[in-house]
Structure 1
Amino acid sequence: MYKFERYRQIGLADFNQPFGLKMNPENRWVKKAETIPWDAIEERYAKLFPSKTGMPAKPLRTALGSLLIQKQLGFSDRELVEEITENPYLQYFIGLPGFQTVPPFVPSLLVEFRKRLTEDVLGEINEMIIDYNTPDDPTPGGGNQSDETESDADENAGTMILDASCAPQKISFPQDINILNEAREDLEAIIDDLCDRFYYYKPRMYREKARKDYLNLAKCKKRTAKKIRKAIKKQLQYIRRDRKYLDEFLTKECELTTKQAARLAVIDQVYEQQKYMYDNRVHSVPDRIVSISQPYIRPIVRGKAAAPVEFGAKLDLSMDEKGMARIEKMSFDAYNESDVLISAVQHYFERTGHYPERVLADKIYRNRANLQFCKEHGIRLSGPALGRPRKNAKTDKKTEYADNADRIAIERAFALAKQKYGLGLITSKLDQTTRSSIALSV
């Protein structure tokens, strides 16, 4: 349930300030609140609650404002609620009617905020904020309408910059022996719970011996291939034995909880993958699970010097000539970013009514399909042309140098998002909340 009429957005003059406090209208949070169309977003947010019964939800300004504060300042959920309770400017930013010493909500409610503000909803909110802060421009490229002809209005104008990056997840570095040990411990915990709930006799699972076998490798300074393979074989045997015990229990009158059933499905998949790699003496498998608690995460090979392989979501970000950034594609599975260029250009056309004059992107985007598409629509794709160098090579090199200099803007955007707004290390646990967290960073 959502009461839209109840939460009308307030200005700084309407904010109930405590006696003796005079809030500064030039404060960064006051000025930031003026750049967001709260009322327009509120109407979109109210549609997420079709039910007319139940306890009213928190207003949009409280949900979105709190998450924006958390992204900018890097607070945990508990620390965020404490900071909002102590700071009148933060309370004004999230739409409270006045300063109060009582927490506006419990920290666990932030998880629900992230679930409701999905990737698609935040994408729409991003467009609303961009439109709200962008002055009306009657013609493509910012010209005067009276001086433009109909043919000029259809000409290409503007610039689109496109690049890809990875948002690493906060997980321990995945090692086969560690994943198998965690799977074994989870199986033992499920068996213990079933025995306690249904009064079954606990089977012998050799926990201490399995733990000792794991530590023999985990604490070993020099791990040879033979030692690793031997330790993996033992852990696979322990998991297979525990899985047989669990199957015997499930044939009786007992049921797993929803959480246990989901975890068991992940453990079975991990066992199959590890068994396949052990039997075939390989180190890779399709859709490899690198975290049992977050099985949606996949390894993303980026080839960077600091981290050749990252574990998290891969995303393509586009930036227009006004410096506005948008997420074009986000996926936990590895993909070729060159496939995103055509759809990103089409999105640019849908927003502006014309194609960009130039597209600045890496060499990986310069495949034949993208070059042909850009040629058909009169778009200049940055980079050297295919084939032999032209006669005017000096002019082409100057243009290429200027394009590379302009393309740095999107690298700065990635650096800002990763260093300042949490994109460098995602701490969310769920698939949906992780996507929302990445969208909030942008």
Structure 2
Amino acid sequence: MYRKVDPTPNPPSNFDLPFEGQLADDNRWVIMAKLIPWSEFEAEYALNFSVDMGAPAKSFRMALGALIIKERLGTSDRETIEQIRENPYLQYFIGMTTYSSQAPFDSSMFVHFRQRIGVNLVNKINEKMVKEQTEVPGEVVEKKSSQINEPKNQGKLILDATCAPADIKYPTDLGLLNQAREHTEKIIDALHTQIQSPVKKKPKTYRNTARKEYLKIAKNRKPSRKVRRKGIKKQLQYIKRNLAHIDEMGQLQLLSKSDYKKLLVATEVYRQQLSMYEKKEQSIQDRIVSLTQPHIRPIVRGKAGKSVEFGAKLSASCRNGYVFLDRISWDNFNESVDLKRQVEEFKRFTGFYPESIHVDRIYRTRDNRAWCKERGIRMSGPPLGRPPTNISKSTKKQAQLDERIRNSIEGKFGEAKRRFSLGRVMAKLSNTSQTTIAITFLVMNLSALLRQAFWLFCVYFRTNSFVQVFCLY
């Protein structure tokens, strides 16, 4: 059940403190609370709950605010709760009206918050927040007066894609098979305990022998290809025997949901690894690289030091210094096919097409070039065909300027991975990981707006101080 609460931030002076004093208006959390459009998306969040059944749920501002605090501070779920308990500004940010030393909710609620606030809702909040804070007041009237004529292209659009690595160890075929074998052994133990038949004996799994054979190869620093292949064959045989025992035991309905899911994943890993072993191949479609997170796929990037990354691939756009998440997928994709849709999103957001698009080589296809040319959009990069022998200085200067502009989105990706959690996504589920990635871009834009608000405050403070000093003389 969801009870509607007015999420509009109250003045910080109305926040009750058990000691003397009040919250400062220029605090960063007070300013950020005013930047987020809480009330406009509360109704969409309330659709996750029943109108008259169930316990009252936490408010939308508390759920989203807690996720923003966690991403902004870079803390774990439990540490975030401790920070909220100790800091009255954080309690004000999530919508509390009185300071309390008690935890507002349990740390396990973060998983539910990420599931209820999906990636689409976070993207809507991100776009609405940036639009409200950057829109010029007289801009709407000018657009209405010029509806007859198509507006001229304005602004710059920067596009790029990256990968958000998940928190898994580097997968190997032998290691995955060893984990799958251990999962099947635990399932056999669970079924034998629940069946409790004195007649049937527990099936033999030879787990100690299988473990020793795995460690014999795993501890070897550089095992040969022949040794690895022999070890993979043995692990496949152990898993095949365990799966046969599970079929004979039956009664899979006695398993818990987690054990049943592990059984399905282990069966699929066995099928994929057996197929690659028999065909002597190194790849297969929809390859599983983690038994605990089977949705993760290998993303081939071809970069120095990291030829393959394991996580979600995302396509993003940068508009006027703000980054927006346009597409996210666990499967690899060609980001050049998103260019047209991203340009149309830019037009929907601003009301006109961009004057120029700054992209890398993979976006510069013939189809994309022709589509941009029809709309009067200049695409960065050299033209198709053989390069001319004599290149003018203006052309070189324009190419250097385009590359500098395109580097801004690379800097945004670097900030997201070093300063925030995009460098290693700690969420385990598919939907919660996507929400975490979307929250990262929301917090990045919120930080940019906060820096802009702080700069305006400093300019205002200095101007007023100068006027007061001038009046004294």
TM-score range, shorter chain: over 0.9
Instruction: Find the counterpart in structure 2 of residue 349 from structure 1.
Output: 347
1:296 paired to 2:295? yes
Distance, in Å, in 2 between the alignment partners of 1:342 and 1:71 is 31
Distance, in Å, in 1 between the alignment partners of 2:105 and 2:147 is 54
Instruction: Find the counterpart in structure 2 of residue 236 from structure 1.
Output: 236
Do the aligned partners of residues 50 and 131 (structure 1) sit closer, same or farther apart at CA in structure 2, a change above 3 Å counting? farther
TM-score, normalized by length of structure 2? 0.88
Distance, in Å, in 2 between the alignment partners of 1:225 and 1:5 is 63
Distance, in Å, in 2 between the alignment partners of 1:38 and 1:151 is 35
Distance, in Å, in 2 between the alignment partners of 1:395 and 1:131 is 35
1:38 paired to 2:35? no
Instruction: Find the counterpart in structure 2 of residue 267 from structure 1.
Output: 266
1:170 paired to 2:167? yes
Alignment coverage as a number of residue pairs: 437
1:12 paired to 2:12? yes
Instruction: Find the counterpart in structure 2 of residue 128 from structure 1.
Output: 128
Instruction: Find the counterpart in structure 1 of residue 49 from structure 2.
Output: 49
Q: State the 1:348 CA deviation.
A: 1.2
Distance, in Å, in 1 between the alignment partners of 2:149 and 2:139 is 9
Deviation digits for residues 120-145 of structure 1 (CA, Å, limit 9, x no counterpart):
111111122112212336559xxx94
1:421 paired to 2:399? no
Asked whether the 8 Å contact 1:41–1:125 carries over to 2, the reply is yes
> Which aligned pairs between 1:79-98 and structure 2 lie closer than 5 A?
79-98=79-98
Instruction: Find the counterpart in structure 1 of residue 356 from structure 2.
Output: 358
Asked whether the 8 Å contact 2:7–2:39 carries over to 1, the reply is no
Asked whether the 8 Å contact 1:302–1:309 carries over to 2, the reply is yes
Do the aligned partners of residues 253 and 170 (structure 1) sit closer, same or farther apart at CA in structure 2, a change above 3 Å counting? closer
Asked whether the 8 Å contact 1:42–1:60 carries over to 2, the reply is yes
Asked whether the 8 Å contact 2:114–2:432 carries over to 1, the reply is yes
Question: Partner amino acid for 1:360?
Answer: H
196-205 vs 331-340, which moves further: 196-205
Give the percent of matched residue pairs that are identical in Structure 1 and Structure 2: 43
Q: State the 1:351 CA deviation.
A: 1.9
Q: State the 1:53 CA deviation.
A: 2.1
1:386 paired to 2:423? no
Question: Partner amino acid for 2:121?
Answer: V
The 3-state SS of whatever aligns with 2:306 is coil
Q: State the 1:264 CA deviation.
A: 1.4
Distance, in Å, in 1 between the alignment partners of 2:123 and 2:253 is 44
Q: State the 1:392 CA deviation.
A: 6.3
Question: Partner amino acid for 1:407?
Answer: R
51-60 vs 83-92, which moves further: 51-60
Distance, in Å, in 2 between the alignment partners of 1:49 and 1:11 is 29
Asked whether the 8 Å contact 1:180–1:232 carries over to 2, the reply is yes
Instruction: Find the counterpart in structure 1 of residue 70 from structure 2.
Output: 70
Do the aligned partners of residues 11 and 139 (structure 1) sit closer, same or farther apart at CA in structure 2, a change above 3 Å counting? closer
Deviation digits for residues 248-271 of structure 1 (CA, Å, limit 9, x no counterpart):
011x58543322222211111101
Asked whether the 8 Å contact 1:41–1:128 carries over to 2, the reply is no
1:336 to 323, 329, 334: 334
Do the aligned partners of residues 50 and 9 (structure 1) sit closer, same or farther apart at CA in structure 2, a change above 3 Å counting? farther
Deviation digits for residues 13-61 of structure 1 (CA, Å, limit 9, x no counterpart):
2111221344332222112112112222323322333532221110111
Do the aligned partners of residues 177 and 389 (structure 1) sit closer, same or farther apart at CA in structure 2, a change above 3 Å counting? closer
Asked whether the 8 Å contact 1:205–1:242 carries over to 2, the reply is yes
> Which aligned pairs between 1:275-294 and structure 2 lie closer than 5 A?
275-294=274-293
Distance, in Å, in 1 between the alignment partners of 2:253 and 2:402 is 65
Distance, in Å, in 2 between the alignment partners of 1:170 and 1:212 is 27
Distance, in Å, in 2 between the alignment partners of 1:330 and 1:116 is 18
Q: State the 1:74 CA deviation.
A: 1.3
2:365 to 348, 352, 367: 367
Distance, in Å, in 2 between the alignment partners of 1:393 and 1:171 is 50
Instruction: Find the counterpart in structure 2 of residue 395 from structure 1.
Output: 394
Question: Partner amino acid for 2:209?
Answer: K
1:182 paired to 2:167? no
Instruction: Find the counterpart in structure 2 of residue 203 from structure 1.
Output: 203
Deviation digits for residues 296-347 of structure 1 (CA, Å, limit 9, x no counterpart):
0001111111211110000011011x22211111111011111111110111
Question: What RMSD over aligned residues (CA atoms) do the two structures have, in Å?
Answer: 2.1
171-180 vs 131-140, which moves further: 131-140
Do the aligned partners of residues 145 and 124 (structure 1) sit closer, same or farther apart at CA in structure 2, a change above 3 Å counting? closer
Deviation digits for residues 375-419 of structure 1 (CA, Å, limit 9, x no counterpart):
111110110011244676432222111111111211111111111
Instruction: Find the counterpart in structure 1 of residue 404 from structure 2.
Output: 405
Instruction: Find the counterpart in structure 2 of residue 157 from structure 1.
Output: 154
Asked whether the 8 Å contact 1:384–1:396 carries over to 2, the reply is no
Instruction: Find the counterpart in structure 1 of residue 118 from structure 2.
Output: 118
Distance, in Å, in 2 between the alignment partners of 1:164 and 1:137 is 33
Do the aligned partners of residues 150 and 207 (structure 1) sit closer, same or farther apart at CA in structure 2, a change above 3 Å counting? closer
Question: Partner amino acid for 1:417?
Answer: A
Distance, in Å, in 2 between the alignment partners of 1:285 and 1:8 is 51
TM-score, normalized by length of structure 1? 0.94
Asked whether the 8 Å contact 2:316–2:323 carries over to 1, the reply is yes
Distance, in Å, in 2 between the alignment partners of 1:37 and 1:72 is 18
Distance, in Å, in 2 between the alignment partners of 1:100 and 1:6 is 20
Asked whether the 8 Å contact 1:139–1:153 carries over to 2, the reply is no
Question: Partner amino acid for 2:284?
Answer: V
Q: State the 1:215 CA deviation.
A: 0.5
Question: Partner amino acid for 1:178?
Answer: G
What stretches of structure 1 of length at least 5 have no aligned partner? none
Deviation digits for residues 83-112 of structure 1 (CA, Å, limit 9, x no counterpart):
110111111111111110110000001110
The 3-state SS of whatever aligns with 1:385 is coil
Distance, in Å, in 1 between the alignment partners of 2:286 and 2:89 is 46
252-261 vs 83-92, which moves further: 252-261
Do the aligned partners of residues 353 and 145 (structure 1) sit closer, same or farther apart at CA in structure 2, a change above 3 Å counting? closer
- Would you tell me which structure has more helix in proportion to its own residues? 2
24-33 vs 75-84, which moves further: 24-33
Do the aligned partners of residues 67 and 255 (structure 1) sit closer, same or farther apart at CA in structure 2, a change above 3 Å counting? same
Q: State the 1:151 CA deviation.
A: 6.9
The 3-state SS of whatever aligns with 2:328 is strand
The 3-state SS of whatever aligns with 1:269 is helix
Question: Partner amino acid for 1:285?
Answer: I
The 3-state SS of whatever aligns with 1:23 is coil
